[in-house]
């Protein structure tokens, strides 16, 4: 699998959970699956979904200002409600809500106009289609998946209905999305209720790539995606290969009026730096209201993150994953030519910042954003045995409000000492 370079270079994407669940502000899909609401009550939200203030150009501009290079919209969540005028089911906001139009096309166009890549979220599972709960997986690795919206009772299986769903709805809708909107990224979810064999994921992958070979596929394809998709927590160990952390600005994915404690810009900068320092992308989620407006406190956070990225652009754009743990207390990034090292300092460096295990000489040390030059010196070590000392870099006078980045220009390509107990 060769990864499209735009994806690994992107570093920041925005995920948008928008659907009828924003009308009453209930959890997306899960609220009726879990029985908090009947499915009828959940679906009555269709009547209140207006998209009356939907300005996708405004969204796309905000996402670009946040520093994002791609944006992903929930074309269809587990509730089965399509945001486009699908011909493959009668459940769409185009056909059944006052919004009465395609919402995906204008999103894709607006996002492209801002120079960003287009991603579409699509749930494999569909808890509304009558043919979906027709077969059971070979094993229920999570007991709560045994639910009437997801599968029939044992002994009531009907493989013909499953085939009808798979070909007619699942494949049919993915083809519609590809043909109508040419997404650069298909962001799947909800594969856990069937086996790989039942979904025929390998074939799905092949079919998508036949239609558009450059399409990137997220990891939720039971082994047939392009990259790992951890959710809500920065991995402790650096994942191998490309990866992307999906993460909420608030507590929920979709809009919920009680979700009023969004993470601060400082927290978001931290999680972003930790993610990219380990070579991943951050896919940061917001949930617009039913009318299509992005909550103001989420927009503020996105602007704040974008400001930090602009001040520290050199460390973000065109850099690769930084040092493994142990050299610097915080994330770091390395320039593509491997001659500049960027140290991210979250907590105010008061006296000095320390860097261990660097064999190179440091030519200059400076602060991104302000350009302030910093004094630095090597201390200790056992140079005749090739054991470097510690580099001590003076604390800057002016610090970034969220995270200060120190750029170190090295005398050559970075050369790390990882020795333990030698000499
Ligand atoms: C989970 C949830 C879903 C949400 C998704 C985002 O898989 O099922 O509600 O859309 O995470 O990653």
CA of 189 to the centre of ligand 1 (A): 7
Parallel, antiparallel, or unpaired for β 319-321 and 404-410? unpaired
* Closest alpha carbon to 129 in 173, 187, 180, 74: 173
In a domain? residue 275: yes
pLDDT, the chain, mean: 96
Categorize the per-residue pLDDT at 115 as very low, low, confident or very high, splitting at 50, 70 and 90: very high
The domain of 346 spans: 319-410
Lowest mean pLDDT among 11-25, 191-205, 304-318, 385-399: 385-399
How far is residue 312's CA from residue 358's CA, in Å, rounded to a whole number? 23
How far is residue 414's CA from residue 333's CA, in Å, rounded to a whole number? 11
CA of 112 to the centre of ligand 1 (A): 25
DSSP H or E run through 22: helix 21-24
Region 224-239 average pLDDT: 91
CA of 217 to the centre of ligand 1 (A): 16
| Residues 96/115, Cβ–Cβ less than 8 Å | no
Region 132-159 average pLDDT: 93
pLDDT at residue 399 in the model: 84
Give per-residue pLDDT as tens, 84-104. Answer: 999 999 999 999 999 999 999
| Residues 248/226, Cβ–Cβ less than 8 Å | no
Lowest mean pLDDT among 25-34, 52-61, 67-76, 394-403: 394-403
Counting from 1 in the atom list of ligand 1, the atom nearest the Cα of 28 is 9
167 and 293 share a domain?
yes
Q: CA angle, corner 253, sides to 172 and 137, nearest 5? A: 50
The binding-site residues of ligand 1, defined as CB within 6 angstroms of any ligand atom, are 28, 189, 231, 246, 253
pLDDT at residue 383 in the model: 83
How far, in Å, are 27, 40, 124, 129, 217 from residue 47 at the CA level? 17, 12, 25, 19, 33
Ligand 1 pocket mutation pick from 189, 244, 249 by most atoms within 8 angstroms of CB = 189
Share of the chain above pLDDT 70, in %: 99
Parallel, antiparallel, or unpaired for β 70-76 and 117-123? parallel
How far is residue 128's CA from residue 233's CA, in Å, rounded to a whole number? 30
In a domain? residue 419: no
Counting from 1 in the atom list of ligand 1, the atom nearest the Cα of 74 is 10
391 and 270 share a domain?
no
249 and 293 share a domain?
yes
Ligand 1 pocket mutation pick from 186, 228, 231 by most atoms within 8 angstroms of CB = 231
Please report, for the domain that includes residue 374, its CATH number: 2.60.40.1180
Q: Strands of 340-345's sheet, edge to edge?
A: 319-321, 332-335, 340-345, 404-410, 362-367
Domain termination residue (choose one: 265, 283, 311): 311
In a domain? residue 420: no
Counting from 1 in the atom list of ligand 1, the atom nearest the Cα of 229 is 12
307 and 324 share a domain?
no
pLDDT at residue 350 in the model: 84
Tell me which residue has its CA closest to atom 8 in ligand 1: 190
- Residue 16 burial by CB count (10 A; 0-12/13-18/19+): exposed, middle or buried? buried
Domain termination residue (choose one: 269, 289, 311): 311
24 and 71 share a domain?
yes
* Closest alpha carbon to 298 in 245, 248, 234: 248
Region 354-366 average pLDDT: 96
Please report, for the domain that includes residue 10, its CATH number: 3.20.20.80
In a domain? residue 302: yes
Report, in this order, helix, strand and coil percent for the chain, each rounded to 5.
Answer: 30, 20, 50
Strand partners, 286: 16
Radius of gyration of the chain, Cα coordinates, nearest whole angstrom: 24
Give per-residue pLDDT as tens, 55-71. Answer: 999 999 999 999 999 99
Ligand 1 pocket mutation pick from 79, 253, 255 by most atoms within 8 angstroms of CB = 253
In a domain? residue 293: yes
Q: What is the pTM of this model?
A: 0.96
304 and 335 share a domain?
no
Tell me which residue has its CA closest to atom 5 in ligand 1: 189
| Residues 320/336, Cβ–Cβ less than 8 Å | yes
Categorize the per-residue pLDDT at 420 as very low, low, confident or very high, splitting at 50, 70 and 90: low
In a domain? residue 142: yes
Burial 32-55 (b: 16+ CB within 10 A, else e): bbeeebebeebbebbeebbbeebe
How far is residue 423's CA from residue 419's CA, in Å, rounded to a whole number? 9
CB-CB neighbours of 142 under 10 Å: 9
Query: Per this entry, what is the length of the chain?
Result: 423
Tally of domains in the chain: 2
202 and 342 share a domain?
no
132 and 225 share a domain?
yes
Give per-residue pLDDT as tens, 319-342. Answer: 999 999 899 999 999 999 999 999
How far is residue 223's CA from residue 32's CA, in Å, rounded to a whole number? 29
Domain termination residue (choose one: 265, 281, 311): 311
Counting from 1 in the atom list of ligand 1, the atom nearest the Cα of 121 is 10
pLDDT at residue 421 in the model: 56
pLDDT at residue 423 in the model: 44
CA of 60 to the centre of ligand 1 (A): 22
pLDDT at residue 1 in the model: 56
Counting from 1 in the atom list of ligand 1, the atom nearest the Cα of 27 is 9
Tell me which residue has its CA closest to atom 4 in ligand 1: 253
In a domain? residue 135: yes
φ/ψ of 244, rounded to 5, equals -150, 130
194 and 91 share a domain?
yes
């Amino acid at each position: 699998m060769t990864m499209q370079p735009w994806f690994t270079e992107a570093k920041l994407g925005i995920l948008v959970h928008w659907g009828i669940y924003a009308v009453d502000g209930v959890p997306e899909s899960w609220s009726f699956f879990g029985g908090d609401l009947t499915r009828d009550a959940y679906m009555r939200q269709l009547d209140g979904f207006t998209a009356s203030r939907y300005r996708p150009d405004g969204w796309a501009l905000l996402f670009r200002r946040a520093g994002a290079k791609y944006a992903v919209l929930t074309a269809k969540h587990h509730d089965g409600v399509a945001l486009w005028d699908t011909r493959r089911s009668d459940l769409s906001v185009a056909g059944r809500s006052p919004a009465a139009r395609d919402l995906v096309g204008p999103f894709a166009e607006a996002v492209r106009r801002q120079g960003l890549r287009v991603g579409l979220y699509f749930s494999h599972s569909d808890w509304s289609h009558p043919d979906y709960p027709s077969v059971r997986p070979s094993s229920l690795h999570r007991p709560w998946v045994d639910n009437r919206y997801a599968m029939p009772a044992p002994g009531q299986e009907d493989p013909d209905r499953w085939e009808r769903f798979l070909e007619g709805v699942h494949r049919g809708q993915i083809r519609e999305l590809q043909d109508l909107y040419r997404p650069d990224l298909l962001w799947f979810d909800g594969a856990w209720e069937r086996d790989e064999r039942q979904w025929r994921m390998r074939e799905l992958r092949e079919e998508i790539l036949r239609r558009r070979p450059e399409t990137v596929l997220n990891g939720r394809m039971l082994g047939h995606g392009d990259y790992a998709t951890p959710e809500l927590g920065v991995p402790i160990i650096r994942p191998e290969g490309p990866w992307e952390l999906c993460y909420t600005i608030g507590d929920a994915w979709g809009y919920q009026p009680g979700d009023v404690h969004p993470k601060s810009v400082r927290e978001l900068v931290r999680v972003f730096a930790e993610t990219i320092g380990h070579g991943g992308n951050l896919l940061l989620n917001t949930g617009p209201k039913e009318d299509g407006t992005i909550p103001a406190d989420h927009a503020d956070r996105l602007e704040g993150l974008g400001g930090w990225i602009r001040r520290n652009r050199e460390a973000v754009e065109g850099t690769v994953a930084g040092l493994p743990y142990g050299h610097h207390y915080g994330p770091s990034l390395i320039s593509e030519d491997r001659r500049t090292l960027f140290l991210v300092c979250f907590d105010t460096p008061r006296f000095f910042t320390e860097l261990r295990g660097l064999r190179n000489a440091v030519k200059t040390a400076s602060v991104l954003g302000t350009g302030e030059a910093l004094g630095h010196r090597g201390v200790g070590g056992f140079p005749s045995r090739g054991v470097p000392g510690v580099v001590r870099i003076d604390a800057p006078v002016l610090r970034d409000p969220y995270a200060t980045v120190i750029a170190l220009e090295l005398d050559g390509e970075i050369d790390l000492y990882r020795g333990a107990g030698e000499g």
